[in-house]
């Protein structure tokens, strides 16, 4: 079998592997039922959806012919490290600085990874995402996430 699009093949393989690993990791938690989902329900569902999407992209890469074969380009190390670093920093800072500080830092860090950084766009995204996260996770789901830094209250 010939790989007709290296880029789609690599992306499909990555999505499939990440989806399957999330689904396997979620299988160690209680699944529950649809009416009362357990802690493993949502990660399992997302993992399976990601694996199915990855399989579809992988199948497309093996069946559709492209003109140049769409070779996989160079790995963009700077954006990859910047975004991963922002996510790790968010995880480390959330318990100490709260959602209102850690999430905007994540947004600004991840936005800086792109070629077209706009301070106004990053600021709007940070405000909107922080407000939505506060409404969803703290107000809606009553999770015990700190909103403000620990030293403030």
3 state DSSP class of 12: helix
Q: What is the pLDDT of residue 93?
A: 94
Q: What is the pLDDT of residue 135?
A: 93
Nearest partner of 51 among 16, 21, 18, judged by Cα: 16
**pLDDT per residue as tens digits for the range 30-72:** 888 888 888 888 889 999 999 999 999 988 888 766 565 556 6
**pLDDT per residue as tens digits for the range 84-117:** 999 999 999 999 999 999 999 999 999 998 888 8
For the chain, what are the domain ranges? 6-63, 77-152
Owner of token pair 């890469």: 61
Nearest partner of 43 among 69, 64, 68, 24, judged by Cα: 24
Nearest partner of 13 among 48, 59, 58, 76, judged by Cα: 58
Owner of token pair 């994540």: 106
Longest dimension (CA), the chain: 62
**Model pTM?**
0.62
Q: What is the pLDDT of residue 110?
A: 92
C-alpha 14, offset from chain centre:
13
**Mean pLDDT over residues 123-140, rounded?**
94
Q: Average per-residue pLDDT in the chain?
A: 87
pLDDT exceeds cutoff 70 at 10 = yes
Q: What is the pLDDT of residue 7?
A: 82
């Amino acid at each position: 079998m010939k790989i007709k699009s290296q880029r789609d093949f690599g992306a499909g393989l990555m999505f499939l592997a990440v989806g399957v690993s999330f689904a396997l990791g979620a299988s160690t938690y209680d699944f529950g039922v649809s009416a009362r989902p357990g802690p493993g329900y949502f990660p399992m569902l997302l993992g399976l959806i990601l694996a199915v999407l990855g399989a579809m992209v992988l199948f497309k890469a093996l069946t559709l012919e492209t003109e140049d074969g769409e070779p996989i380009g160079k790995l963009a190390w700077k954006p990859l490290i910047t975004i991963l670093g922002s996510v790790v920093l968010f995880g480390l800072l959330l318990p100490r600085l709260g959602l209102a500080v850690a999430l905007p830092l994540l947004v600004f860090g991840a936005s800086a990874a792109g070629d077209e950084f706009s301070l106004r766009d990053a600021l709007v995204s940070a405000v909107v995402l922080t407000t939505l996260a506060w409404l969803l996770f703290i107000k809606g789901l009553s999770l015990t996430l700190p909103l403000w830094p620990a030293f403030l209250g």
